[in-house]
């Protein structure tokens, strides 16, 4: 029986010419209503490779780059076509995938398409992608998080740029929604010459200036979101410890510190109204398996942080105080004593010293509480005129958290950076900046 969408012959010659039966030719396609449903269920994404088929990836202009692909071919002679189902399923929504042109060509390859992409596999692909869209949209009323990523050369190493998809996945895994398509990227790699690295004092002055300018330009000027509209921040970065602490220090956690007064119109039913305090998540990079997502299961026991007096006078009033942190890697007291001879030295350490010490957000909170306790002790024992100097090894998340601990009115803190050839500590940044 002919498909309801079949068109009449165009001319008499075509009508009278010998043709194949309709069962062997192309049958129907989706109607306009089902076409919209397919787009909606797939969220405008290729259901195989996940690229956005609603816009050009280079210019970001709107284009329809999608194609409808049949799971069971609309023609008996097509890839995955059958006498029983080709005509019956040709115009059915459940038999269609939304694909980009490349993926459509791949799954319909005449030589390998049916072998590599059988019907049951394509149906599973379709259903899994549509279920994922449903799960993600169920988060729509969750807080939207603005991702901020800072990158800078570490010694002579210029590290690879951020991976946007992985950062957005880390935010979603935390039960939040990325507020922006792209994280706010404070790229100190692109702005500093090779000879102006973290061994040069000019690096630190430029880092403070450029980080502040970039942060304000990308948020306060409304290019992305105004500070008064931010619900949540997610912080990431690969940079020297002082630069990471600077990022943590510059991100405000209250709306009182912001230029704009908070305004929240009741246009988002089901969403919580903005609060005076902005929640902040700090993420840790996991080098194995190279992701910003927290591991599902711990590979290390929960860390316990401690401190003790290591060297120098204990009753010194004011002046320089050294804190040697030993969390990620072993550290050396002699390098601290060479940088600040004769000062009190406190050792801040963890129960297990390893690069993988931070495995969960609770670990970052435990570090913050323990280090804040140490700072309170130093201020109590050595007076408000003391100046704390931080040395040693810290994971990325703890370095960012270090900057968040330091607030105006507290004792100043200078974070030193480890240099090589020869091994030594050089002054980095002083917080509050």
Are 115 and 151 spatial neighbours (Cβ–Cβ below 8 Å)? no
CB atoms within 10 A of CB 111: 8
- 165-199 tens-digit pLDDT: 899 999 999 989 998 888 888 888 755 554 555 66
Region label for 409, one of left (φ > 0), alpha (ψ between -120 and 50) or beta (otherwise): left
Per-residue model confidence (pLDDT) at position 150: 92
Percent of the chain exceeding pLDDT 90 equals 60
List average pLDDT for each run of 10 residues in the chain, which is 433 residues long: 42 42 60 94 96 88 94 93 92 96 95 93 97 87 90 70 86 90 82 56 82 74 59 92 94 63 54 80 92 93 96 93 96 95 97 94 98 96 96 97 87 92 90 80
Per-residue model confidence (pLDDT) at position 194: 45
Residue that is written with structure tokens 């230029």 in the block:
259
> Residue 36 CA to chain centroid, in angstroms?
31
Angstrom distance (rounded) from CA 282 to CA 305: 18
Helix or strand holding residue 89 (H, E)? helix 86-89
Ordered by start, the domain boundaries in the chain are 12-137, 144-264+274-282, 305-431
In 283-329 the beta strands, taken as DSSP E runs, fall at: 305-311, 319-326
Angstrom distance (rounded) from CA 54 to CA 71: 22
Per-residue model confidence (pLDDT) at position 8: 43
Angstrom distance (rounded) from CA 206 to CA 159: 19
Are 310 and 322 spatial neighbours (Cβ–Cβ below 8 Å)? no
Per-residue model confidence (pLDDT) at position 260: 44
Region label for 381, one of left (φ > 0), alpha (ψ between -120 and 50) or beta (otherwise): alpha
pTM: 0.76
Residue 186, helix vs strand vs coil: strand
- Of 204, 194, 187, 180, the C-alpha closest to 150 is 187
Per-residue model confidence (pLDDT) at position 21: 38
CB atoms within 10 A of CB 395: 24
Angstrom distance (rounded) from CA 259 to CA 369: 29
Residues in the chain: 433
| Longest CA pairwise span in the chain (Å) | 108
> Residue 222 CA to chain centroid, in angstroms?
21
Residue 372, helix vs strand vs coil: helix
Are 396 and 238 spatial neighbours (Cβ–Cβ below 8 Å)? yes
Before 62, cis peptide (omega within 30)? no
305-431: CATH class: alpha beta
Per-residue model confidence (pLDDT) at position 43: 96
């Amino acid at each position: 029986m002919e498909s309801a969408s079949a068109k009449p012959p165009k001319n008499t010659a075509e009508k009278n010419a010998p043709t194949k039966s309709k069962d062997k030719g192309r049958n129907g396609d989706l109607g306009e209503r089902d076409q919209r449903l397919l787009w909606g269920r797939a969220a405008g994404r290729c259901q195989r490779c996940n690229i956005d088929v609603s816009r050009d990836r280079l210019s970001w202009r709107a284009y329809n780059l999608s194609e409808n692909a049949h799971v069971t071919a609309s023609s008996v002679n097509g890839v995955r076509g059958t006498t029983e189902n080709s005509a019956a399923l040709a115009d059915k929504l459940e038999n269609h995938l939304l694909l980009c042109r490349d993926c459509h060509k791949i799954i319909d390859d005449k030589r390998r398409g049916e072998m590599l992409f059988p019907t049951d596999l394509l149906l599973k692909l379709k259903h899994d992608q549509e279920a994922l869209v449903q799960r993600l949209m169920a988060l729509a009323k969750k807080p939207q998080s603005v991702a901020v990523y800072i990158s800078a050369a570490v010694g002579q190493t210029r590290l690879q740029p951020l991976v946007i998809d992985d950062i957005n996945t880390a935010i979603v895994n935390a039960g939040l929604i990325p507020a922006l398509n792209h994280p706010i990227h404070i790229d100190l790699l692109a702005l500093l010459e090779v000879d102006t690295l973290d061994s040069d004092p000019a690096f630190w002055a430029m880092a403070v200036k450029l980080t502040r300018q970039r942060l304000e330009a990308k948020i306060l000027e409304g290019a992305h979101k105004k500070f008064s509209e931010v619900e949540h921040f997610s912080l990431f970065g690969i940079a020297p410890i002082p630069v990471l602490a600077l990022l943590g220090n510059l991100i405000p956690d209250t709306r009182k510190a912001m230029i704009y007064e908070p305004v929240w119109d009741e246009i988002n039913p089901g969403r919580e109204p903005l609060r005076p305090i902005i929640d902040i998540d700090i993420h840790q990079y996991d080098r194995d398996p190279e992701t910003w997502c927290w591991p599902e299961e711990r590979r290390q026991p929960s860390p316990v942080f401690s401190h003790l007096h290591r060297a120098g006078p204990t009753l010194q009033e004011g002046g320089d105080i050294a804190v040697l942190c030993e969390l990620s890697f072993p550290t050396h007291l002699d390098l601290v004593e060479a940088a600040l001879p004769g000062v009190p030295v406190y050792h801040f350490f963890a129960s297990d010293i390893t690069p993988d010490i931070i495995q969960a957000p609770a670990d970052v909170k435990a570090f913050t509480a323990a280090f804040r306790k140490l700072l309170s002790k130093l201020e109590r024992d050595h007076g408000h005129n003391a100046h704390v100097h931080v040395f040693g090894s810290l994971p990325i998340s703890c370095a960012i958290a270090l900057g968040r601990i330091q607030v105006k009115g507290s004792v100043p803190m200078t974070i030193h950076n480890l240099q090589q050839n020869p091994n030594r500590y050089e002054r980095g940044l002083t917080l509050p900046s």
